[in-house]
Structure 1
């Protein structure tokens, strides 16, 4: 028998027939017993709750119990227990208990990022409510307290359900309901946050901001409280309009722009007729700031690339890829072999964009060559460069950036001085003398003006003149303007206390800035010292990170070298970031990966700097663990190629695995192979690395780095003899109490082993277990990987509906982690699933995939999208258009890439069919033979591949026979 107390109290038999319960007194008694089913309620409490006036006797209560027993019959017992009664039934038979169980499960599914399951559970839970809880016992204090608790749970479940629906993209449907809920619960911040998210997803940023402001005002007026940190953070996000992995915008400026308004307009006008403009001038003259201001009025989309941190020109293309928000690889680990420069061309070929290359002087040759190539192949691109010397490219227009005019220099000094000394006023002639001594260089002026916080103008002028005299008598070979700027930095440095000088010199080992914790630990400084350096303009702080101007950093590095302190500080820096990588590694296999991935990305430059030092110092015991700890992050983010040079350099001095570092050595070999230059090292060390992994991962226990053998198998799968790699993890399945992620990874790999043996059912079972394992841990990357594999199985079995559902689920996960290439690949797959039933939906997917692939600079996935559009053109009868799309796809496809196999075969088959339509039998057969050869070269059964491409058996037999 089932009971309902979420509304009027009701009861139903197993066949669905409702049980007549009698009058209000009997319903109220049953409701009281059902508040806590199975627990004893005393006779006195029952009597008091049923009749607060005290007129109900024990005998009258016993009579009501007897009537209730008669109504319920023998299916449910109401027992006398001591001095009270209890109803004996499973808690699940009461709708309130069932609601709480379903709400708990739904909330857990939401936390585990299974939004589909969460929505189903929470809708079922909320569907149990028929009205106000305990409606037949409104006067009872016990019932009122229980009802309040259940109503709170109901509202929480409703919030969970809406959040899960938003994760599934159901923003539009959620907005009206959320508006109504926020109206009923105006102080509930989570509801306000959900409404803000839903509105923003529908393009209503302004409306979302209004919701925040109304909520903030109500909290202040009614509770005297501020919004929570979560709601405030969401408000900041909305103000910025943040999107994951956005391309680099010009840096925000915290000070006014003085003295160059005419230059801004002139350079902007020049850019309208010239596609390459270079701002040239000495260090500190204001080239970067001028480029930022020009970017603001350029009228086009802008990508701002800061090159000062580059070690050499080899990293220039990857720096541009990073600034454009592009990853080098994605979910599928087999790379396309395409160079970073080629990917840039793919990404920028059709875009209207102003690309700002800031600080080119130390990589001027490489910057010139890359700018020339991009401008030649991307007709809608314009480049604004800053450099101490011209790039020397044909068509370059130079704009010399001069020191400030006298009046502008005085205005700049006065403006910056007023910022540190409110009400600042001084003799303009004294200020003019200071600016003249500084050659009217903006950076020097700003540094000098900042000193007025503690000095008078006359003292400042005296010290500065003396320092400039010393600088002028320095090296005759140094550039005069450089010596002038050095004197300002040196003077600023000498004003620091000894602890400040020590902290500032040590800070120069950081690349890309540092968090407060990292700065304190590596520099051996306290927070007060760091803040003092910020006050004195030696450090900047923004977004929770400290940064140092490059000019000051270069000077501080010299002081660090002079003190003989560099090695010790570098060792501390490397130790800190090795510890960070080790802490992050296990979290990347859990639900917290969405926190740790951005954290690692923010420290990517520091991780590289630490690795480079360890490799350069031949600190193998540090470099190898750093590579192994960072391997998983690098693969997920698509950044493995960034460490390939260091991995190759390590392998050049290694004959095999160092003692106790077999797994780390294998990670090094794996990462070296992520770049074309690492292929010789891969071939030379692969066998010994495989053996080292086998020793580190015996069948009775796992190793230290679960991601390494997993990634090894995926890289090694393209080799002629991959089977040993499969055994590394699959042997772990017999280990008791195995780490859940290792088990999921082993099940995924076991599925591929079963696939090699033709056991399709075993494959589906193993990979299905992997999906559940990854999903239970909250690993979106692993879950998407396994879902994609299941979708492939469903496609091979002809179950397109299942393949489509799995692909949609995987796509939602890749979009969460911002994987452009993976999302493009999955969109093409989805288009292939629906092309026969809904051509327009397929077209939308192919076109969106093409757009994502262009943004990612991925020729492979752009080719896949073009192939899909070619298929649609054939269906539309546009054979000429289809041929053009197929040919363009064929030009972009990597003929050796594992991920390119299916699309290359399908493209060749498409061209063969067009040849057949035109009556060109020999041409068609030639294309089909190319398809067979492409499939065979990758070890795939030619007939199966051609059959999946849709060729009839007669053609398959004829072509395969050749």
Structure 2
């Protein structure tokens, strides 16, 4: 039998059924006995406590000993034989173990969790603490709250509960769950403003999320509370944390230079020379043959600079069309995840936005295979971003005006010998070189650092003399200067070829098959594609041909290129590429359902590691005219791409694929074809593809998702509705297709249908029905653990609450959506949600609204999104206008208008508000004709945006305009006021 006192007093039988305990006197009696299970409670104390809680009879009378005995008898009958209540001396005891009472189990689990946390094992601590806290159903000892003897026990338990909450939150922070912890920490600190540990945890969580200023504000609030309430200063621990935050750099860090694995020798003077070149010019290119150490030198220069650094590894990049996306990724930026409608701003524009105001050194490593495209991009960025400097590594110059070249030479003899000796001792600790033999080996290796490191690794199985003998006539100084691939690669190819020839055939076969991986591989994928065993992979790693990083194995790019040549020479490229694509397809299909469930936060980073291979596999399949495989790969990856906002990376090959497929999808792949159309339509370049293939894609999608059937990719429904919501789509047909899934067997499709149906009701003016649909969608998304869908519906619910004037609810819903967006690392969506919250606060708390707009603009700039800047700029204009600062308001509105995205409902709604704001500023300065013109533009934009609204004022309110602007716009432009219905829902 189990008992509960963490809430109302309860008892459960062995099979989990709750037992009826009777009236309040019996529940109070049982609770008092369970406070100290197994210990005797005197009868007079029981009587006094039962009377104190009003369960002893009329007007709180203290029951007699006989009455207590009677209640004990009835309680025994209710509990049966499973729990003995014994009369002992002058009192009673209940013969149960502490573990049978929820309070006892709570204390044990909390104690074990805290112990694990103290030992640094947060992964063990967190589930223990969560189990402990889940035992609570309400206030401790709720049925005897007024009892003096139980009150002390309740206070102790509540304190333990709060401490366990703090332990659990600290474990979450240790495991990187700071974003999820922030809202709860805020609420707890509001209830316990003097709790310094809570303050410290919230400060740490905010700082980990890049909100250093907010963390410092928390400290200041706690300091004031302590001073006002207790006349005390913060503890030494909290003060030390405050000092640490003041010294910390809270700015988001772009990709850092690779951490060195071997000593940096022989190039100290070159580091100084390159740094001087960067002071004299803004573009410096390190040139030289492969393996000479260009990357190591560039990383060392980057480590020494005082500027912010972003290090971009380009060796694995094969498609020049996605070069800007690669740079955005290195900067920590990406496309929008929650609002997926395509905008007009391209990745290059976002790069310029993100870099234009930053003092940053951009290191572009391994440019030779895309030298022309990188030269054009570098020139554009340098021209548009005056504080930017670029350090490139390439086997040939970029050829850009103003470029400074620094040829990187092989190491001198002394440095080469030092590097070889260091790496040899890593392979064989007791290595003592013969100077003459060592010099001959390094000379034969051309003093190239990579060649030296590969050769030194052979000393695990060879002596230095044996190694020297094997090098004879294998390598030599080869000609330089020719641009032909054969001579440009010859020196390093000779080095890699020699190392390769030392491998037994099974290892050579595995290594050349591994070369198809563009971004490394998990062990399982490597075993399948390489058709080998773990021992062979480990042997390749021991010989420096593979390296292990974060549980994945990778191959140096130079070795991978050589392996690809060997694969092609063996005639194995096509079959191995096919196995590689099949392996990736199976991985994506297995992960796809989890991306719409609670596993999504675990799966997203795992799939991000596979993204280079996804792009490589799709490009191969498209080039090899394996259209079925290409369609399946794109479709299997689509949910991941949409959530992470990375669909643009596959848009170019998807367009090429559709050119090959035509307007008729292959048999059985209609849904995959429709998804490829959606991917290809990303960005302005996809408009023509959308116009050509939309009708065929709609038929294919309808054929799958109709008559109660479910397709393989539910996320396609949401994106189909989004893409068809414009004048170039089929909003009525898409709405009918998606809303018909309300009874689908696929739960995620049902949630999407309810979400879309809500917008239909909203357009028809039925706000109550819209909210019911959004709430149903939110419940279904939450039940599945999908943060993406939940954030969408919370944002929609916030808009509905705002429309009916419930500002407080709208703010709370926006806060919740913002938390989910932050978990998904959606910078652009965070900017959008913060601007929405600013709109909700503007009338009641202008200072808070200004802070939201300012932070929104910061997120937009970090995302490199000019379109996302429009809303906060417009909001700051609203604030300035309310403060009668007409000049600032007009400036902000004008800037917002320049940044607006003309496509999508969000952009159009913001256009209406911006035009209305400009109308108001014109009206304030007395320009009534100008005001009427702006109001007319706002009304026209509203009519073009809102389909199904009954009147112009209704349309304006749906778009979030304040009532004063609704009246002004409607009064100045009445022609469309009577009826705006154009497209039936």
The TM-score bracket by the shorter chain reads 0.7 to 0.9
1:906 aligned onto 2:895: no
- Contact kept? 1:846, 1:869, Cα under 8 Å: yes
Give the alignment of 1:510-909 within 5 angstroms: 510-654=517-661, 655-719=663-727, 721-735=730-744, 738-909=745-916
1:41 aligned onto 2:49: no
Structure 1 counterpart of 2:3? none
Distance 1:21 1:664 in 2: 76
Aligned in 2, Cα 1:476/1:398: closer, same or farther, shift over 3 Å? closer
User: How far apart are residue 852 of structure 1 and its match?
Assistant: 0.5
Secondary structure of the residue that 2:284 maps to in structure 1? Answer: strand
- Contact kept? 1:790, 1:806, Cα under 8 Å: yes
Give the alignment of 1:71-470 within 5 angstroms: 124-126=138-140, 128=142, 166-168=181-183, 170=185, 247-468=254-475
Aligned in 2, Cα 1:690/1:479: closer, same or farther, shift over 3 Å? closer
Distance 1:175 1:249 in 2: 38
- Contact kept? 1:447, 1:492, Cα under 8 Å: yes
Aligned in 2, Cα 1:460/1:786: closer, same or farther, shift over 3 Å? same
Aligned in 2, Cα 1:714/1:504: closer, same or farther, shift over 3 Å? same
User: How far apart are residue 702 of structure 1 and its match?
Assistant: 2.2
- Contact kept? 2:631, 2:676, Cα under 8 Å: yes
Aligned in 2, Cα 1:452/1:630: closer, same or farther, shift over 3 Å? same
Distance 2:811 2:622 in 1: 47
Distance 1:744 1:112 in 2: 31
Distance 1:534 1:28 in 2: 78
Structure 1 counterpart of 2:6? none
User: How far apart are residue 246 of structure 1 and its match?
Assistant: 5.7
Structure 2 counterpart of 1:928? 935
Secondary structure of the residue that 1:124 maps to in structure 2? Answer: coil
User: How far apart are residue 896 of structure 1 and its match?
Assistant: 3.1
- Contact kept? 1:471, 1:486, Cα under 8 Å: no
Distance 1:440 1:753 in 2: 71
Aligned in 2, Cα 1:927/1:133: closer, same or farther, shift over 3 Å? same
* Cα offsets for 1:263-322 (capped at 9, x unmatched): 112322332342221111121111100011111111121111011111132221111011
- Contact kept? 2:338, 2:826, Cα under 8 Å: yes
Distance 1:242 1:617 in 2: 48
* Cα offsets for 1:50-96 (capped at 9, x unmatched): 32xxx79xxxx9xx99xxxxxxxxxxxxxxxxxx999xxxxxxx998
Secondary structure of the residue that 2:255 maps to in structure 1? Answer: coil
- Contact kept? 1:329, 1:335, Cα under 8 Å: no
Distance 1:524 1:643 in 2: 28
User: How far apart are residue 703 of structure 1 and its match?
Assistant: 2.2
Note the residue ranges of structure 1 that are not aligned, 5 or more in a row.
66-83, 87-93, 104-110, 139-143, 184-191, 208-237
Aligned in 2, Cα 1:944/1:131: closer, same or farther, shift over 3 Å? closer
* Cα offsets for 1:505-533 (capped at 9, x unmatched): 01001011111111111111211111111
Aligned in 2, Cα 1:176/1:394: closer, same or farther, shift over 3 Å? farther
User: How far apart are residue 606 of structure 1 and its match?
Assistant: 1.2
Distance 2:102 2:563 in 1: 70
* Cα offsets for 1:181-234 (capped at 9, x unmatched): 999xxxxxxxx9999869967999xx9xxxxxxxxxxxxxxxxxxxxxxxxxxx
- Contact kept? 2:717, 2:749, Cα under 8 Å: no
- Contact kept? 1:98, 1:125, Cα under 8 Å: no
Distance 1:37 1:811 in 2: 53
Distance 1:544 1:175 in 2: 42
Distance 1:272 1:20 in 2: 89
Structure 1 counterpart of 2:120? none
User: How far apart are residue 333 of structure 1 and its match?
Assistant: 1.2
Aligned in 2, Cα 1:123/1:16: closer, same or farther, shift over 3 Å? farther
Distance 1:728 1:203 in 2: 43
| Deviates most, 369-378 or 245-254 | 245-254
Distance 2:620 2:603 in 1: 24
Distance 2:942 2:312 in 1: 41
User: How far apart are residue 773 of structure 1 and its match?
Assistant: 1.1
1:957 aligned onto 2:971: yes
Structure 2 counterpart of 1:493? 500
Distance 2:308 2:70 in 1: 71
User: How far apart are residue 862 of structure 1 and its match?
Assistant: 0.8
User: How far apart are residue 776 of structure 1 and its match?
Assistant: 1.6
User: How far apart are residue 374 of structure 1 and its match?
Assistant: 1.1
Distance 2:338 2:867 in 1: 14
Secondary structure of the residue that 1:541 maps to in structure 2? Answer: strand
Distance 1:786 1:589 in 2: 14
User: How far apart are residue 763 of structure 1 and its match?
Assistant: 0.9
Secondary structure of the residue that 2:596 maps to in structure 1? Answer: coil
Distance 1:476 1:768 in 2: 64
Secondary structure of the residue that 1:951 maps to in structure 2? Answer: helix
* Cα offsets for 1:104-133 (capped at 9, x unmatched): xxxxxxx999x99x9999683458498999
Distance 1:472 1:272 in 2: 33
- Contact kept? 1:244, 1:818, Cα under 8 Å: no
- Contact kept? 2:936, 2:969, Cα under 8 Å: no
User: How far apart are residue 380 of structure 1 and its match?
Assistant: 1.8
Aligned residues: 862
- Contact kept? 2:298, 2:393, Cα under 8 Å: yes
- Contact kept? 1:122, 1:158, Cα under 8 Å: no
- Contact kept? 1:647, 1:668, Cα under 8 Å: yes
Distance 2:596 2:711 in 1: 15
- Contact kept? 1:943, 1:960, Cα under 8 Å: no
Aligned in 2, Cα 1:26/1:160: closer, same or farther, shift over 3 Å? farther
Secondary structure of the residue that 1:798 maps to in structure 2? Answer: coil
Aligned in 2, Cα 1:21/1:420: closer, same or farther, shift over 3 Å? farther
User: How far apart are residue 578 of structure 1 and its match?
Assistant: 0.7
Distance 1:631 1:17 in 2: 69
User: How far apart are residue 453 of structure 1 and its match?
Assistant: 1.7
Note the residue ranges of structure 2 that are not aligned, 5 or more in a row.
1-22, 36-44, 111-124, 173-177, 216-244, 977-985
- Contact kept? 2:618, 2:653, Cα under 8 Å: yes
* Cα offsets for 1:746-770 (capped at 9, x unmatched): 1112212223333222111111111
- Contact kept? 1:31, 1:134, Cα under 8 Å: no
User: How far apart are residue 634 of structure 1 and its match?
Assistant: 0.7
- Contact kept? 1:33, 1:41, Cα under 8 Å: no
- Contact kept? 1:171, 1:199, Cα under 8 Å: no
